[in-house]
Amino acid sequence: MEARWVVRPGPPLSGCVRVSGATKNAGLKQMAAALLVPGVTVLRNIPPVADLDVMIDLLRAIGAEVEWGGPEELRIDATGPLWPEAPYELVSRMRASINVLGPLLARCGEARVAMPGGDNIGSRKLDMHFRGLEAMGAELEVVHGFIEARTNVLAGARVVLEFPSVGATENLLTAAVLAKGQTVIENAAREPEITDLAAFLNRTGARVIGAGTSTIEVEGVDELVPVESELMGDRVEAGTLLMACGMAGGEISVEGTRLEHLEMVVLKLAEMGMRVSPTPDGLWARAEGRLDAVDVATLPYPGFPTDFMPMAVSVLSVADGTAIVTENVFDNRFTFVDELNRMGADVRTEGRHAVVRGVPRLSGAPVRALDVRAGAALVLAGLAADGETTVFDCHHVARGYVDLPGKLRALGADVEAVPAG
């Protein structure tokens, strides 16, 4: 496990990198969904990140056999028998563990899943997961820190989500594919990772239409069949590299991603003065001189994604002018700002808002990664800072990114991972 990453300012970025598969935000969900399928599911383009090991341990604890079939290929045999329990030690290490709830209820008729706590970015409630599954006939209660869920028969239902929650949409979708009759999820999350999950489910024989829109319709089927499937490219990694270009200047190409997955991010970077255009297999970007400040407000997809907010604050911290950044999705995602201010940024927060007054240059400092995207934001800040920036606790960043220092080095940045010990 890397203990710290050291970032030094370098020349403008140049070159081309290919993004990795979206293991954290798409792959972990499809691994959980593989529990629905008796037989061997093969997932490709699923490179290892730290959270993947936790999901492997969880699936094995439940009774699936999980093996690597190649460097980025996982084989998950969920023939069973399955023990529908997600222990606290694993759930507390990774929130996406909650994604086994829907598949276990659908496949086994019961599930016992440790309640994930809050985390560094907010309280992260599960009420919509509960209400949706209850509408489908499940009984749920929280007993001694565990969600205990059971059902005689899951029945299709119409569920209106109060907010387009990614996790609730995924749990309801994966429960609905084996339910009796039709389920309609209204105000569903529209993130590309949901579309990727639905495409995977449909390959296994599920009948899902409307994924990627606010209304998802699922016609329950009796059984799913094992398939081989390939994950989408990681849009957050792609956007992180574009923002790195915004920080350091230069001209780069990012392959393995799609403009439509990053439209709002690209729109904002263009408003700041960057040039970004699609290429046959990705995006090309150029940044020259100081960028302009623009206001940013996060919203569910296709709005400006909350996962990019910390990086946007880094980019704006050295932009020309003052920007207001509003976080509408999580209730506590600005804690990293204190770390950025230690590097000479001028960012003040008040509740859901941050006022970012651009300074010409940051100053390298030792800082701490508080979560995966906040850590990435500090690495980017180091690209526009004089002297050396050491980002501690980079294991948080490694939870979601495949070798971010290596990808940045491939573009000419000076970023070194210093191993622990």
Q: What is the DSSP letter of 388?
A: -
> Is the CB of 169 or the CB of 250 nearer to ligand EPU?
169
HSE (side-chain half, CA atoms, 13 Å) at 175: 38
* Rounded Cα gap, residues 258 and 217, in angstroms: 25
Q: Is 25 one of the binding residues for ligand EPU (CB under 6 A)?
A: yes
Give the pairing type, strands 282-287 and 275-279.
Answer: antiparallel
Q: Which stretch binds ligand EPU (CB under 6 A): 104-112, 301-309, 380-388, 402-410?
A: 301-309
Q: Which stretch binds ligand EPU (CB under 6 A): 3-11, 79-87, 126-134, 285-293?
A: 126-134
Find out whether 32 and 64 touch, Cβ atoms under 8 Å: no
* Rounded Cα gap, residues 73 and 229, in angstroms: 10
Least distance CB 336 / ligand EPU (angstroms): 12
- Which 195-254 positions form the footprint of ligand EPU (CB under 6 A)? none
Cα Rg, the chain, nearest whole Å:
21
Nearest to 6 by CA among 400, 385, 399: 385
Least distance CB 232 / ligand EPU (angstroms): 13
**48 upstream amide cis, omega within 30 of 0:** no
- Which 353-412 positions form the footprint of ligand EPU (CB under 6 A)? 372-373, 400
- Which 78-117 positions form the footprint of ligand EPU (CB under 6 A)? 95-96
- Which 135-174 positions form the footprint of ligand EPU (CB under 6 A)? 163, 165-168
Phi, psi of 244 (to 5 degrees): -60, -40
> Is the CB of 244 or the CB of 329 nearer to ligand EPU?
329
* Rounded Cα gap, residues 106 and 177, in angstroms: 8
Contacts of 244 (CB under 8 A, 6+ apart): 13, 380, 383, 408, 411, 413
> Is the CB of 5 or the CB of 330 nearer to ligand EPU?
330
Nearest to 342 by CA among 357, 364, 324, 323: 364
Beta bridge partners of 77: 40, 65
Least distance CB 49 / ligand EPU (angstroms): 11
Per-residue contact track with ligand EPU, 311 to 330, x per CB under 6 A?
------------------xx
* Rounded Cα gap, residues 172 and 167, in angstroms: 9
Q: What is the DSSP letter of 387?
A: S
Q: Is 262 one of the binding residues for ligand EPU (CB under 6 A)?
A: no
Across 288-407, the runs of DSSP E, i.e. the strands, are 296-297, 322-326, 346-350, 353-357, 362-363, 366-368, 385-386, 389-392
Least distance CB 374 / ligand EPU (angstroms): 9
Beta bridge partners of 278: 283
Q: Is 33 one of the binding residues for ligand EPU (CB under 6 A)?
A: no
Least distance CB 371 / ligand EPU (angstroms): 6
Q: Total residues contacting ligand EPU (rule CB under 6 A)?
A: 26
> Is the CB of 296 or the CB of 329 nearer to ligand EPU?
329
Least distance CB 168 / ligand EPU (angstroms): 5
Least distance CB 164 / ligand EPU (angstroms): 7
> Is the CB of 4 or the CB of 399 nearer to ligand EPU?
399
Nearest to 248 by CA among 5, 416, 415: 415
Q: Which stretch binds ligand EPU (CB under 6 A): 125-133, 146-154, 240-248, 335-343?
A: 125-133
Of positions 8, 44, 124, 286, contacts ligand EPU by CB under 6 A: 124
* Rounded Cα gap, residues 137 and 246, in angstroms: 50
Q: Which stretch binds ligand EPU (CB under 6 A): 31-39, 122-130, 277-285, 338-346?
A: 122-130
Least distance CB 303 / ligand EPU (angstroms): 10
Catalytic residue selected from 51, 77, 119, 393: 119
Residue with smallest beta-carbon separation from ligand EPU: 167
Residue 57 known to be catalytic: no
User: 135-144 burial by CB neighbour count: b if 16+ within 10 A, else e?
Assistant: bbbbebeeee
Of positions 16, 53, 83, 125, contacts ligand EPU by CB under 6 A: 125
> Is the CB of 85 or the CB of 327 nearer to ligand EPU?
327
Residues of this chain that interact with ligand EPU (CB under 6 A) are 24-25, 95-96, 122-129, 163, 165-168, 189, 305-307, 329-330, 372-373, 400
Residues with a known catalytic role: 119
